[in-house]
Amino acid sequence: MVQVSKKVLLTGGAGFIGSHTYVELIAAGYDVTILDNFENARRDVPDRLAQITQKTTKLIECDIRAEAHVEAAFRGQGFDAVVHFAARKSIAEGETDPLGYHQTNCNGLVNIVAAMQTHGVKAIVFSSSAAIYGSPDQMPIGEDTPPAPQNAYAWTKLFGEEFLDRMRRADPALKTGILRYFNPVGAHASGLIGEDPSQPPANLVPIIARVASGDLAELTVLGDDYPTPDGTGVRDYIHIGDLARGHVLSLDALLGQGRSHLVNLGTGRGYSVMEVLRSYAEVSGRAIPHRIVPRRSGDAATSFAQTRRAREILGFEAEHDLRSMCDSNWRFICQRDTVTV
């Protein structure tokens, strides 16, 4: 069993996935400190987390690209593990700024692991991505599917996995949890935290939400000529609460069993862009105007997870359906913007 004294550094903990994982870690009895530079997160997130957990949010403001600052963040803290989210994640932005993506996602991870080594921290959960699979022909996508990254973002995530694997082989005491997850959607039941990037969103549901709330005139659908039932891209969407719980289970396995692992986190089924659009329109009661444009280069037609390994190793299984994902996101948007439901 995991002891309540376990101290965890949560990098990128003010972001979408990080903040929800913080809540789940606190509920599971972990002592968590967030490290974030707020480049793509709201400054009031730590206060919102304190409201949810009824605990003061421990925070270190730090940029993972600054090696000396990262090392200083570890000094005297006695962390037992790191859960590493801090990264840049836009596929389109990564193509225009590959240098920036490698500096943050690759060099930043190296700085974190160097500080772990200096301070004797021997467990890390790494936020990877299903993007490393590219566009495989066989579905569902299992962990043994050969990586075929098609963009700079995906390459940086594959680098992270391979770097951690090399570190683990060099130091058998290091335990790693590699989580390749699919498309997180939704928000916390409190409505206090959700997907709320400080930069323009690139993911489907936050864009649909902006259309529903009137901040955007229409949704741009990237292609309707894929070999899918309605011609639009199909993705495995997973509720953010389920995904956060998966990170707790991963950390439990590292600290409680000393068991390194690499698993997919998804639901095991896909939803098309139009299915998501219709579900969001239903829960919001709003029309979602949309316009079809040509496909985006590098996008796969279909992508959904084989989830057996996560179930066998971590005991993980997603619990929420698409409607629940859309409904929780809309309620977060309404509470944030005082939109009438």
pLDDT of residue 201: 80
Contact partners, residue 134, CB within 8 Å, separation at least 6? 147, 148, 149, 150, 154, 300
Q: Is the dihedral of CA 204, 206, 209, 213 positive or negative?
A: negative
Alpha-carbon 85 to chain mean position: 7
Question: What sign does the dihedral 306-312-314-317 (CA atoms) show?
Answer: positive
Quick one: tokens of 77? 């803290």
pLDDT score, position 5 = 58
CA-based torsion, 91, 96, 99, 100: positive or negative: negative
- State the pLDDT at residue 340: 39
Q: Is the pTM of this model over 0.75?
A: yes
Active site residue 153: yes
Q: What is the pLDDT of residue 338?
A: 58
Nearest-5° angle of CA 14, CA 16, CA 19? 45
* Cα Rg of the chain (Å, integer): 19
| Backbone phi, psi, residue 84, to 5° | -105, 105
Which residue out of 30, 133, 153, 226 is catalytically annotated?
153
pLDDT digits (tens, 9 = 90+) for 217-256: 999 999 999 999 999 999 999 999 999 999 999 999 999 9
pLDDT beneath 50, residues of the chain? 1-4, 339-341
* Cα 117 from Cα 244, distance rounded (Å): 26
